[in-house]
Amino acid sequence: MCLAVIPRSLSEAVLTHESSQQVVVIGTGYVGLGTVALLAHLGHRVTGLDIDAAKIEQLRRGEVPIYEPGLASLLAQQADRVHWTTDYAVVAQADVIFICVGTPPGPGGAPDLEFITGAAVGIAPHLSDRSQVLVNKSTVPIGTGDFVQRLLEEHSPHFDETRHFVVSNPEFLREGTALGDSLYPDRIVMGGAPEGVARLTALYAPLIEQTFAPPAETPRPESYLRPGVVGTTLQSAEMIKYAANAFLALKISFANEIAGLCERVGADIQEVATGIGADARIGPRFLQAGLGWGGSCFGKDTQGLISAGREYGYPMPILQAAIDVNYRQRQVVIEKLQRHLKTLKGKRIAVLGMAFKPNTDDLRDAPAHDLIQRLHAMEASVVAHDPVAMPRARREWPHLTYTEAPDPASALRRADAVVIATEWDEYRGLDWPALLLTMRRPLIIDARNVLRSPLLAQIEQFGREGPSSPAETVHP
């Protein structure tokens, strides 16, 4: 099947086919829960399935195990259409089955397909003798769709390639804005046999035509019309996901590399980014200099492409450079602290922000993790705060040594420096002049470039000239 952008004039038969369908979503992480909420809001009957019984019990009580703005409310509103289970037997009644499980990096950077394999093997015995579509939303190596189909053939007594279709439908969600990205996407990519793509198109008809009523918490943007719909092959759909994330990672690392030179020549990275981002061929998004990316996608997916290239004897040096620049940024923060404080031994350093980005509690590959770890290794005393992620950090970062602060003011009190590691709006709105008076030294390492004048003389940012001399004022 060749790449094709499916036009607005979709056939009436496709758009009205089984307007309310029975859906099973396997995996209840960020992607899975968002998919459950979206499809239930579109009017489908959805069962969320996970092998973690404790998580399923939590969801049955109405407790959402992750933080994502608006998600808990939307799931509560659709409670009559949503059910939760650990039993794969529900697959037998499903029209469409989504796989939304994790694919963490394995040795050498290649994604670990353990959970994909487990999901496919769990599904296979319960496939029915009628038409069903199996949709992979997980980020997977190119060729995984064929791999999943082989697993179904080997483990299902009912598998028939004329009735059971494997489709790749990668997600393009940003944590913190996942509901808006789901309800009003730029594009929907579907790869697989034409029959499978048509069935999935029917499921998504209210989304494609934007005929659903927007949730009160996530209104439809005024300028938004409808998503582009791309139909292609399994392999191309899988590649689109990897290539999109790798390109965004490249933009961030490019901005950070230019920022380093800006500091040395007296240019301002934000002015430079505005100037080059005004070019329609480049665009302004993902040109923010600072501490670099974190999370579960950019690093893993970029490394996944490099690993795929290595498998075929095809080096990808540009992507490797993007990774190298990104992780270098974490050391740049340490170097800025050393330039002002000289030795870090015995210094009190406040770290504001622990999640890898604002509006989420996700700590995966969070830059703050590396900062805390490195600062402790240099015998600094670390005090950390995050508006949302501290409870999760207690569970996931027991190996780190730091003190929790109940609020930003407590974190900064008698600190020798503060590092802004996550661009929470809460930190932008702090009374910084007053807080600086409570610190031993008025030194801010603004690793997300969120603060503005008149504090610039006391701030070290990325891609901008720092203070002409180290912050020496010591408050009692």
Domain that holds residue 48: 4-232
Residue 357 assigned as binding residue: yes
Residue 342 assigned as binding residue: no
Residue 364 assigned as binding residue: yes
Q: How many angstroms separate the CA atoms of 19 and 199, rounded?
A: 11
Same structural domain for residues 204 and 131? yes
Do the beta carbons of residue 349 and residue 337 sit within 8 Å? yes
Q: Which of 325, 331, 244 is nearest to 289 (CA)?
A: 325
Q: Report the pLDDT value the prediction gives residue 274, as an integer from 0 to 100.
A: 96
Same structural domain for residues 403 and 446? yes
Hey, which residues does 308 pair with through a beta bridge?
none
Residue 286 assigned as binding residue: yes
Q: Report the pLDDT value the prediction gives residue 10, as an integer from 0 to 100.
A: 42
Residue 456 assigned as binding residue: no
Buried b (16+ CB within 10 A) or exposed e, 223-237: eeeebebbbbbbebb
Indicate whether 421 belongs to any domain: yes
Indicate whether 474 belongs to any domain: no
The residue among 206, 232, 258 that closes a domain is: 232
Same structural domain for residues 345 and 437? yes
Instruction: Please state the φ and ψ torsions of residue 349, each to the nearest 5 degrees.
Output: -115, 125
Instruction: Please state the φ and ψ torsions of residue 337, each to the nearest 5 degrees.
Output: -60, -45
Report the amino acid identity of residue 46.
V
Residue 139 assigned as binding residue: yes
Q: Report the pLDDT value the prediction gives residue 472, as an integer from 0 to 100.
A: 52
The CATH number of the domain holding residue 308 is 1.10.1040.10
The residue among 303, 321, 339 that closes a domain is: 321
Same structural domain for residues 185 and 37? yes
Q: Report the pLDDT value the prediction gives residue 185, as an integer from 0 to 100.
A: 96
Active site residue 297: yes
The CATH number of the domain holding residue 390 is 3.40.50.720
- Between strands 4-5 and 228-232, the pairing is antiparallel
What are the distances in angstroms from CA 288 to CA 120, 237, 283, 424, 453? 39, 28, 12, 15, 18
Indicate whether 284 belongs to any domain: yes
Q: Report the pLDDT value the prediction gives residue 141, as an integer from 0 to 100.
A: 86
pLDDT by residue for the chain (476 residues), tens digit each?
444 544 444 434 344 444 789 999 999 999 999 999 999 999 999 999 999 999 999 999 999 999 999 999 999 999 999 999 999 999 999 999 999 999 888 877 778 899 999 999 999 999 999 999 999 998 888 889 999 999 999 999 989 999 999 999 999 988 889 999 999 999 999 999 999 999 999 999 999 999 999 999 999 999 999 999 999 999 999 999 999 999 999 999 999 999 999 999 999 999 999 999 999 999 999 999 999 999 888 888 899 899 889 989 999 999 999 999 999 999 999 999 999 999 999 999 999 999 999 999 999 999 999 999 999 999 999 999 999 999 999 999 999 999 999 999 999 999 999 999 999 999 999 999 999 999 999 999 999 999 976 555 678 999 987 664 444 555 54
Q: Report the pLDDT value the prediction gives residue 467, as an integer from 0 to 100.
A: 61
Same structural domain for residues 39 and 151? yes
Indicate whether 239 belongs to any domain: no
Q: For residue 454, say if its preceding peptide bond is cis, omega within 30 degrees of 0.
A: yes
Q: Which residue of the set 2, 100, 262, 297 is catalytic?
A: 297
Indicate whether 467 belongs to any domain: no
Indicate whether 471 belongs to any domain: no
Dig out the tokens for 53 from the structure: 């019984």
Hey, which residues does 134 pair with through a beta bridge?
97, 166
Q: Which of 105, 97, 140 is nearest to 237 (CA)?
A: 140
Same structural domain for residues 192 and 43? yes
Same structural domain for residues 56 and 197? yes
Residue 352 assigned as binding residue: no
Dig out the tokens for 289 from the structure: 């200099």
Indicate whether 40 belongs to any domain: yes
Same structural domain for residues 189 and 122? yes
Q: Report the pLDDT value the prediction gives residue 42, as an integer from 0 to 100.
A: 97
Domain count, the chain: 3
Q: How many angstroms separate the CA atoms of 71 and 111, rounded?
A: 28
Same structural domain for residues 93 and 209? yes
Residue 216 CA to chain centroid, in angstroms? 24
Same structural domain for residues 86 and 164? yes
Indicate whether 271 belongs to any domain: yes
Same structural domain for residues 314 and 334? no
The residue among 209, 232, 255 that closes a domain is: 232
Q: How many angstroms separate the CA atoms of 217 and 207, rounded?
A: 17
Residue 287 assigned as binding residue: yes
Same structural domain for residues 228 and 255? no
Do the beta carbons of residue 138 and residue 169 sit within 8 Å? no
Question: What is the pTM (predicted TM-score) of this model?
Answer: 0.86
